[in-house]
Amino acid sequence: MTELKNDTFLRALLREPVDYTPVWMMRQAGRYLPEYRATRAKAGDFMSLCMNPELACEVTLQPLERYPLDAAILFSDILTIPDAMGQGLYFETGEGPKFKKVIRSQADVDALPVPDPEKDLGYVMDAVRTIRRELNGRVPLIGFSGSPWTLATYMVEGGSSKDFRTTKALAYDQPALMHSLLDKLAQSVVSYLNGQILAGAQAVQIFDTWGGTLSAAAYQEFSLCYMQKIVDGLIKEHDGRKIPCILFTKNGGLWLESIAASGCQAVGLDWTINIGEARKRIGDKVALQGNMDPTMLYASPERIRQEVATILESFGHGTGHVFNLGHGITPEVDPAHAGAFIECVRELSAPYHQ
């Protein structure tokens, strides 16, 4: 086991004392970096990049070469699981991901295998092992998956959607069919994330990107219920360390108490909620991750600094905060502004931990 040189991120997730507030960014390895665009061009296309462990490692490490980040996150895609289930993932230029097959019947669900992480998603596991080796203990590595509900929306709609009408109609009209799909996806996510943990991931995040499109009752029934199953099924300790789990539901601010009760170690917050209020509601139970509006990075470094200061002040003193954006960094952001953001967090957060 390689000794971690910087475990601030993991300690904050476990609400242990830290010297400053750790920071990383969702989508930190991405299109805003010219070096990422160069590597993707070398790979040929997005999925070829994801499926090449050496190139996936290269882009995972690129932001760490620029910025003093406290964690690396595996470069991959949430749709690797449906692809491994035989749904035929492909990408249309300007239109995002699409699937050759869609889910419409119980027979469609019955035909879906639960992927074996080493056999069917071995390229992801190889990437995790490669990244861990190249990190050499510099910072922890985060593994991730999409939530069952989020994965289901793509599998039912056949791609991205603005209103999720087909998925919601299926859930409301044929709940037994939807639960069958979600249960199989939950099994697949548990297997996938545990595979990442065994390969070397030191924390995991579940991205529930579309859970916030549901009503309160439907969120509990079709999204949170299955994330709870995943949390229950995850490996809790590996290589002598606890493996924290972060749940992130975009637009999930109404349900923070329920999310915090799932057994996760941290709740990711989008930018629509005040982090101080979130801490009052659930901060004695879990760590909080977030939550600067990603578009703040289009503002001047001075304005970014003000926003970082406001969020730190709102959270207040003590541990249990991982600074992040409230969603992923967007492609048009100036890398220098991302750098200013990260430096500000490191500089301004230290007094809150004295």
Q: Residue 260: which residues within 8 A CB-CB, separation 6 or more?
A: 267, 282, 285, 286
Calculate the CA 212 to chain-centre distance: 15
DSSP 8-state class, residue 68: -
Q: Is-catalytic flag, 173?
A: no
Question: Binding residue per annotation — 28?
Answer: yes
- Token pair for residue 311? 């969020």
Provide the CA 219 distance to its chain's centre, in angstroms. Answer: 18
Does 209 count as an annotated binding residue? Answer: yes
Q: Is 27 a known ligand-binding residue? A: yes
* Annotated catalytic residue within 37, 40, 129, 138: 40
Distance, in Å, from the CA atom of 121 to the CA atom of 191, rounded to the nearest integer, reads 11
Is 90 known to be catalytic? no
29 labeled binding residue: yes
Note if 40 is an active site residue. yes
Q: How far apart are CA 16 and CA 38, in angstroms?
A: 39
154: annotated active-site residue: yes
- Can you tell me which residue has the tokens 């992040």? 324
Rounded distance, CA 228 to CA 354, Å?
Answer: 35
Active site residue 31: yes
Q: Is 327 annotated as a binding residue?
A: yes
- From 7, 77, 126, 270, active-site residue: 77
Question: What distance in Å separates the CA atoms of residue 235 and residue 211, rounded to the nearest whole number?
Answer: 24
User: Catalytic residue among 32, 36, 67, 154, which?
Assistant: 154
What are the binding residues for substrate? Answer: 27-31, 77, 154, 209, 327
Catalytic residues: 27, 31, 40, 77, 154
What are the binding residues? Answer: 27-31, 77, 154, 209, 327
